[in-house]
Structure 1
Amino acid sequence: MLDEANAYERGMDDDLTFQTVRELAGTAYMAGRSAPPTAVEIEAVAKKLLWWDMEADWEDVMPSDDCFWTLAEPEMRASYLRGARIMLEIARKAVTE
């Protein structure tokens, strides 16, 4: 986060101090933490949940979460996406309270 803030600072006016950049970075971080989950975050959690559910069926080489996600029926993916969205919203709510 600070690396991104420092890169942002290099593109700004010279009158920005390190403290100003830290404040901007902190504000951006808090805004991101309280924002609704993104589609990318939701899908990543859904893929991992599906992978965990399939894990018990494999003994040797475990396929990737992308493999299971690709093979899953659309209704199954939709169900995992709903569950992931709910979990992420609960986590975000806990962070902001």
Structure 2
Amino acid sequence: MSISEDEAEKVYPTEYWNDGSGCKKVFAANTDDLQEAYIRGREAPPSDVEVEAVAKRLCYLSQPPLWFPTEPPAEQEKNLWRNMGMCDAQDEWLDKARDLLETARKAVNE
């Protein structure tokens, strides 16, 4: 289950009829409801998971390749991020990532 699916299940848990059938309850939604849900999702502030993913990637892309070249890129990114934590540099990257994501979200709202 993806993070967004997990979050959606927590906010809007699946409801079943109490008749023992195991059938899910359904509700009627019109296009206005669906459009509003879409807009709320697009305009939502970035989650901590999104911010960290962008921060890791920005950090990785900004560094000259100093690591062992046979290491897969995903492993290099993970190790670099761990090292940034040891020298207290993660917060700076997280701030940059949050700013970039918020800038992108604002562009959607204009």
The normalised TM-score by structure 2 is: 0.62
Gaps of 5+ in 2: 6-13, 15-23
Which is richer in helix? 1
Cα distance change, pair 57–24 in 1 and its aligned pair in 2 (3 A): farther
RMSD: 2.5
Counterpart position of 2:19: none
Per the alignment, do residues 57 and 74 of structure 1 end up closer, same or farther by CA in structure 2, a change over 3 Å counting? closer
Question: Could you say which structure has the greater relative contact order, defined with CA pairs below 8 angstroms and 6 or more residues apart?
Answer: 1
Instruction: Give how far 1:68 is off.
Output: 1.7
The answer to whether structure 1 residue 71 and structure 2 residue 83 are counterparts is yes
- The equivalent residue for 2:50 is 41
Local SS of the residue matching 2:89: helix
Task: Name the CA shift for 1:25/1:56 in 2 (closer, same or farther; >3 Å).
Answer: farther
2:96 aligned partner: 83
Residue 52 of structure 1 is matched in structure 2 by: 61
Q: Give aligned-pair identity as a percent.
A: 34
Amino acid at match of 1:83: K
Looking at structure 1, the residues matched to 88 and 52 of structure 2 have their Cα atoms a distance apart, in angstroms, of 14
Tell me the equivalent position of 1:12: 26
Structure with greater Cα Rg:
2
* Distance change in 2, residues 1:95/1:45 (3 Å): same
What does residue 108 of structure 2 align with?
95
Q: CA deviation at 1:74?
A: 5.2
Equivalent residue pairs, number:
85
Displacement of 1:32 = 1.4
Deviations 1:50-86 (A, max 9, x none): 1112353347233342222122135210000000010
